[in-house]
Amino acid sequence: MPNGSTARNNAIAWRSREAPSLEAFEILAEDAFARLPESFRTLCGGVVLRVEDFPEDDVLEELEAESPFDLLGLFQGVGLAQAGAVADTGRLPNMVFLYRRPILDYWSENEETLGEIIAHVLIHEIGHHFGLSDADMERVESQVED
């Protein structure tokens, strides 16, 4: 059975693999960002991408999360829609946080690739920056390069 042996070889290949480190996860996030549509990336200008294991406790409290695994990503800053209403002086740059451990936990329970999940979370969080609807974000996601 060729399919059975292929599945076995794929499964055995996992024997020596480890979960991606923060550094490897940052590379995956940068790759996911590079695969987004160019027009979408261009608009991101000053958005800083950060990868952390978990959200900070104050973020979890503010969002009333029940568990540190509840939050896969977060946009923090002033969205483009509100940019004119907030003074730029002393303002931190807009940031998108991707949380490695919750994303890995979600990945372990779903049938998507890790790259697909990272791209999805990235698009969703950047979408908050642009004030995009869920339908708009789905359209961007459908344009992600393989």
Which domains does the chain possess? 19-83+91-142 (3.30.2010.20)
First-to-final CA distance of the chain: 30
| pLDDT of 1 higher than 50 | no
- Residue 18, CA distances (Å) to 24, 38, 72, 99, 113 in order: 11, 32, 20, 17, 15
Residue 141 is encoded by which pair of tokens?
Answer: 């996601």
Which tens digit of pLDDT belongs to each residue from 29-51? 999 999 988 888 887 877 899 99
| pLDDT of 87 higher than 70 | no
Q: Which of 136, 130, 124 is nearest to 82 (CA)?
A: 130
Q: Which of 60-64, 77-81, 131-135 has the lowest mean pLDDT?
A: 77-81
114-130 helix and 134-142 helix, angle to the nearest 10 degrees: 130
pTM: 0.83
What phi-psi label fits residue 64: left (phi over 0), alpha (psi between -120 and 50 degrees) or beta?
A: left
| pLDDT of 15 higher than 90 | no
Question: How much is the average pLDDT of 94-102?
Answer: 95
What phi-psi label fits residue 90: left (phi over 0), alpha (psi between -120 and 50 degrees) or beta?
A: left
